[in-house]
Chains A and B, each alone.
Chain A
Amino acid sequence: DAKTTQPNSMESNEEEPVHLPCNHSTISGTDYIHWYRQLPSQGPEYVIHGLTSNVNNRMASLAIAEDRKSSTLILHRATLRDAAVYYCILTKGGSEKLVFGKGTKLTVNP
């Protein structure tokens, strides 16, 4: 299975954009890229997913490199409520299985 690599931690200031990177150099053509986040003491929460094209939703944007070997989750204006662990996950096609790594712990400073 293709693996993902994320920084252990990142810091941001409130109301500034945040770019969370994810490397997945062994991604295959049918792998989807998912992002989930987990706020303290809560279950994970879906953020966004994509296959080849950049994606936007109300929470974030997902920028996927042309060769698909990396992607970036973009939070346009970080708030204190965005402080969480962010997980970048690959799944094969319609696979049911999410495989969580350790993720990136995002700290948002006021």
Chain B
Amino acid sequence: NAGVTQTPKFRILKIGQSMTLQCAQDMNHNYMYWYRQDPGMGLKLIYYSVGAGITDKGEVPNGYNVSRSTTEDFPLRLELAAPSQTSVYFCASRIRVGSYEQYFGPGTRLTVT
């Protein structure tokens, strides 16, 4: 298994541009999550999904959108990028029953200038 994969690894955006961060998992996990991590801080939950077609907001959802059309994929959309969205973005997944363990991807480092 590749586990949780994220693309791209790095991206520089200009203010006002939009982009989609891709996340995929091949472990047939029901739950998927998006976090952001600002320098020197812990991770903050942006959005999460408990299954295909179901998404919910986390702590810091403003400025982001998500969709979950398949079990495998959970893209994060940034509309009208702002410097405050400069961060490292992590995707994670978890199986529904039998484990509390979240598996994290390697992250996408985004800079908005």
Total residues of chain B contacting the partner, CB 8 A: 25
CB distance from B49 to the nearest CB of A (A): 9
Interface of B is mostly: strand
Interface of A is mostly: loop
Contact residue among A42, A98, A101, A102 (Cβ-Cβ distance under 8 Å from B102): A98
- Whose C-beta in chain B lies nearest to the C-beta of A101? B42
Contact residue among A32, A43, A97 (Cβ-Cβ distance under 8 Å from B90): A43
Report yes or no: B104 in contact with A44, Cβ–Cβ below 8 A.
yes
CA distance in complex: A45, B102 (Å): 8
Total residues of chain A contacting the partner, CB 8 A: 19
Contact residue among A43, A44, A49, A87 (Cβ-Cβ distance under 8 Å from B100): A49
Report yes or no: A102 in contact with B41, Cβ–Cβ below 8 A.
yes
- Whose C-beta in chain B lies nearest to the C-beta of A100? B42
A binding-site residues for B, Cβ under 8 Å: 32, 34, 36, 42-46, 49, 87, 91, 96-103
B binding-site residues for A, Cβ under 8 Å: 4, 31, 33, 35, 40-45, 48, 50, 58-59, 90, 92, 94, 100-107
